């Protein structure tokens, strides 16, 4: 089954994140990414999210290995300037989920060889959050996904209408932020993505 990965942004949503979290049935992974919050607030929010998210949704935090450990989260998502994957693994243990953001083949190979569990590759499509930077495109996504032996998710400008193309290129799923965070009805947005990821086979 293809993965749906949602990234938080409190500036986009009309709901408190813990209220939003309870609406996310069908999301496989939720990344807490609130870089401007101090550690104490991040910790409290992480604990609230852990309680609020559906039982089958795995909770990760961006960059903060310390908070992942303290709050008992499922793992951490790292950027190119974060701790090395190997260091995070030593701290979090073998069962933690560790993902890495990558933008090209070289970064993807390095992350995979370092022991990352999955990659977010982007930005695949044009997006307001990356104005002025050309998108990587589906071809580059396919090249990385075809060579890397771990799941690669498409990130950046992904809409429901683009899910099929991402999967056809070889992605194991999609990662979204504004498409869910800014939605008037986040639960409905998740259902639409879930149907697209599951092939819209007419299930309920």
Domain CATH number, residue 138: 3.20.20.70
Residue 148 belongs to a domain: yes
The Cα–Cα gap between 59 and 30 comes to: 5
Residue 53 belongs to a domain: yes
**Count of domains in the chain?**
1
Per-residue pLDDT tens over the stretch 181-200: 999 999 999 999 999 999 97
Residue 186 belongs to a domain: yes
Where do we find the tokens 């690669």? 152
List of residues 6+ apart from 133 with CB closer than 8 A: 123
Residue 123 belongs to a domain: yes
Residue 34 belongs to a domain: yes
Residue 105 belongs to a domain: yes
Q: How confident is the model at residue 132 (pLDDT cuts 50, 70, 90)?
A: confident
The per-residue pLDDT for 42 is 98
Average the pLDDT over 66-83 and give the result. Answer: 98
Q: How confident is the model at residue 204 (pLDDT cuts 50, 70, 90)?
A: very low
Per-residue pLDDT tens over the stretch 4-43: 999 999 999 999 999 999 999 999 999 999 999 999 999 9
Residue 124 belongs to a domain: yes
Q: Which structural domain range is residue 121 located in?
A: 3-197
Q: How confident is the model at residue 203 (pLDDT cuts 50, 70, 90)?
A: very low
The Cα–Cα gap between 50 and 30 comes to: 10
The per-residue pLDDT of the chain, averaged, comes to 96
Angstrom distances, CA of residue 65 to CA of 2, 86, 105, 108, 168: 26, 12, 25, 21, 33
With a cut of 80, say whether residue 130 has pLDDT above it: no
With a cut of 50, say whether residue 201 has pLDDT above it: no
Per-residue pLDDT tens over the stretch 50-70: 999 999 999 999 999 999 999
Closest residue by Cα to residue 37 from 71, 57, 75, 64: 64
Residue 202 belongs to a domain: no
């Amino acid at each position: 089954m293809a993965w749906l990965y949602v990234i938080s942004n409190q500036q986009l949503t009309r709901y408190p994140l813990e209220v939003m979290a309870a609406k996310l049935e069908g999301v496989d992974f939720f990344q807490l990414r609130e870089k401007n919050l101090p550690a104490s607030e991040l910790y409290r929010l992480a604990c609230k999210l852990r309680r609020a998210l559906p039982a089958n949704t795995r909770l990760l935090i961006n960059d903060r290995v310390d908070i992942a450990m303290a709050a008992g989260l499922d793992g951490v998502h790292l950027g190119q300037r974060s701790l090395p994957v190997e260091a995070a693994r030593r701290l979090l243990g073998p069962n933690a989920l560790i993902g890495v953001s990558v933008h090209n083949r070289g970064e993807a190979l390095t992350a995979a060889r370092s022991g990352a569990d999955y990659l977010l590759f982007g930005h695949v499509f044009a997006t307001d959050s990356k104005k002025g930077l050309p998108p990587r495109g589906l071809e580059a996504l396919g090249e990385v996904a075809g060579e890397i032996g771990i799941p690669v998710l498409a990130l950046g400008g992904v809409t429901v209408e683009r899910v099929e193309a991402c999967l056809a290129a070889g992605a194991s799923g999609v990662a979204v932020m504004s498409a869910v965070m800014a939605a008037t009805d986040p639960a409905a947005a998740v259902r639409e993505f879930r149907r697209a990821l599951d092939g819209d086979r007419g299930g309920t």
